[in-house]
Amino acid sequence: MSRKYFGTDGVRGRVGKPPITPDFAMRLGYAAGKVLASDRSVLQPGQHPTVLIGKDTRISCYMLESALTAGLTAAGVHVNLTGPLPTPAIAYLTRALRLQAGVVISASHNPFEDNGIKFFSGSGQKLPDATEAAIEAQLESELITAPSKELGRARRIEDAQARYIEFCKSSFPFDKDLRGLRIVVDCANGATYHVAPHVFHELGAEVVTIGAEPNGLNINLDCGATHTATLSSAVRKHRADFGIALDGDGDRLMMADRDGRIFDGDQLVYVIARHRVETGYMKGGVAGTLMTNLGMEHALTRLGLPFGRAKVGDRYVLELLQDKGWQLGGETSGHILCLDKHTTGDGIISALQVMHALKDSGATLAEYSRDLTLYPQVLINVPVAKRIDLAAASPVIEAEEKAKAEMGDEGRIVLRPSGTEPLIRVMVESASESQARKWAEHIAESVKIAAAA
């Protein structure tokens, strides 16, 4: 389904350029209010539909929050404001408070110059494509302000942070704690800065917090899940047992062991899966994406678990899990879904599931994931100024055919446009790193040629 504004994770772009402008945000708020709150059968007579708005720590969030609030209230929708709070917290609170929808203002792992707007349904799940298409269709309609007596109101939820902290803690076994562990927590100067440290501290860990001084401009800057060298260094400096790195909106997770070695989303999902198999708690198989390492698939097979690949994006991992009736899935980038714990990916809760496995086993991250041997992957992002039909680009087709002929069953190629940035992502995976690099560079050059044509 072709969509003009919505990508794989809501509407996203550079602040001040369409669509991330206050004018568009107001119209989007109005359109979303009309679509998401259209089912009044769940409301009492005279009751207004209500939408929750959360945000990360970017300076532009204030502007967009005000514009969204104006649009939603103009549509006759009440607005509850949480202030800075992780994306998964908004998903949880929307469901817990029985609201009609949740909105998050965030560009996740992107730099502060970018921002985005994404939505959750009343059930705490990301919107299906059809609903996003309906919102886009509503954007074409005139913004007609509701009569004054039917306008929405806005108010702040004062205990949102505390509610979410308790929810995270409830995902960890009540008869276990983190006493005796020193953990470095990197909050990426983002939305988890006043949440994540409390969760791990209240469960008994000694917490060393970094990346928790947001100033509106430093979100994801040389820290967090996309810049793990900072975590690795801090773990070694403080002689910590583990390191936890989150991204700007708190839905991604990377971890480090005491040596500073970084473990990505594939490895962490494997740890959770292995623990669930060993404890008899595993339900079904594991969902990954086109980018999930081939070594992960082989390791899960040895555990006796089926594996399925979805399109890149945690929303598509979620759809595959729901279709299969499974509970566990994730992406190499660190989006991990444990549907028995939450309706969406949650970096804090995912970290707690890993800690549960290691506490039970007494093993280190390296020891517990030893049976997972990752194939070398080379990823090259190719900037493009226009949309390219990769399936019809002859230079790309020719390069792919040559690569497949040489690598055979020992390699994979994934070409895909980014859902959030003007890039074509070229990924080549092979048992040989030099072979993977050679073909990734060759295919990337072919994409550049096609883009220039």
Whether the CB-CB separation of 108 and 39 falls below 8 Å is answered with: no
Q: Which residue has the tokens 């936890």?
A: 244
User: Which CATH number does the domain 377-452 belong to among 1.10.600.10, 3.40.50.2000, 3.30.365.10, 3.30.310.50?
Assistant: 3.30.310.50
Specify whether domain 263-368 bears CATH 3.40.120.10. Answer: yes
Specify whether domain 163-262 bears CATH 3.90.1150.10. Answer: no
First to last CA, the chain: 26
Quote the percentage of the chain above a pLDDT of 90: 85
Q: 173, exposed or middle or buried, with CB in 10 Å at 0-12, 13-18, 19+?
A: exposed
> Catalytic pick from 108, 333, 430, 446?
108
Pair of tokens at residue 32: 């979303």
> pLDDT (tens digit, 9 = 90+) per residue, 153-162?
999 999 999 9
Q: What is the pLDDT of residue 45?
A: 67
Report the 3 state secondary structure along 7-38: EECEEEEECCCCCCCHHHHHHHHHHHHHHHCC
Distance CA 287, CA 265 (A): 12
CA 122, chain centre distance (Å): 19
Q: What is the DSSP string of 188-223?
A: TTTTTTTTHHHHHHHTT-EEEEES----SS-TTTT-
Cis peptide before 147 (omega within 30 of 0): no
> pLDDT (tens digit, 9 = 90+) per residue, 175-197?
999 999 999 999 999 999 999 99
Instruction: Give yes or no for residue 98 having a pLDDT over 90.
Output: yes
Beta-bridge partners for 289: 310
Whether the CB-CB separation of 100 and 36 falls below 8 Å is answered with: yes
Q: Which residue has the tokens 């202030």?
A: 83
Distance CA 356, CA 365 (A): 12
Q: How confident is the model at residue 385 (pLDDT cuts 50, 70, 90)?
A: confident
Mean pLDDT score across all residues of the chain? 94
**Same CATH fold assignment for domains 163-262 and 263-368:** yes
Q: How many CA atoms does the CB half-sphere of 387 hold within 13 Å?
A: 4
Instruction: Give the number of other Cβ atoms within 10 Å of residue 194's Cβ.
Output: 16
CATH, domain range 11-158? 3.40.120.10
Q: What are phi and psi of 150, to 5 degrees?
A: -110, 5
Instruction: Give yes or no for residue 99 having a pLDDT over 70.
Output: yes
Instruction: Give the number of other Cβ atoms within 10 Å of residue 4's Cβ.
Output: 10
Distance CA 199, CA 158 (A): 18
Question: Whole-prediction pTM value?
Answer: 0.90
Q: 391, exposed or middle or buried, with CB in 10 Å at 0-12, 13-18, 19+?
A: exposed
Instruction: Give yes or no for residue 239 having a pLDDT over 80.
Output: yes
> pLDDT (tens digit, 9 = 90+) per residue, 1-52?
457 899 878 999 999 999 999 999 999 999 999 998 776 656 666 678 999 9
Q: What is the pLDDT of residue 44?
A: 63
> pLDDT (tens digit, 9 = 90+) per residue, 297-351?
989 999 999 999 999 889 899 999 999 999 999 999 999 999 999 999 999 999 9
Positions of E strands within 59-166: 78-84, 101-105, 114-121, 154-156
Distance CA 274, CA 59 (A): 41
Neighbouring residues of 383: CB distance < 8 A, sequence distance ≥ 6: 422, 423
Q: How confident is the model at residue 386 (pLDDT cuts 50, 70, 90)?
A: confident
User: Domain residue spans in the chain?
Assistant: 11-158, 163-262, 263-368, 377-452
Q: Which residue has the tokens 């994979």?
A: 412
Q: How confident is the model at residue 202 (pLDDT cuts 50, 70, 90)?
A: very high
Give me the sheet containing 50-55, strands edge to edge: 11-14, 114-121, 101-105, 50-55, 78-84, 154-156
Positions of E strands within 162-285: 182-186, 206-210, 242-246, 253-256, 262-263
Instruction: Give yes or no for residue 411 having a pLDDT over 90.
Output: no
Distance CA 453, CA 55 (A): 40
Q: What is the pLDDT of residue 397?
A: 94
Helix axes 294-302, 265-278, angle to 10 degrees: 10
Catalytic annotation on 434? Answer: no
Q: What is the pLDDT of residue 325?
A: 97
Q: What are phi and psi of 253, to 5 degrees?
A: -140, 135
Please give the DSSP secondary-structure letter assigned to residue 252. Answer: B
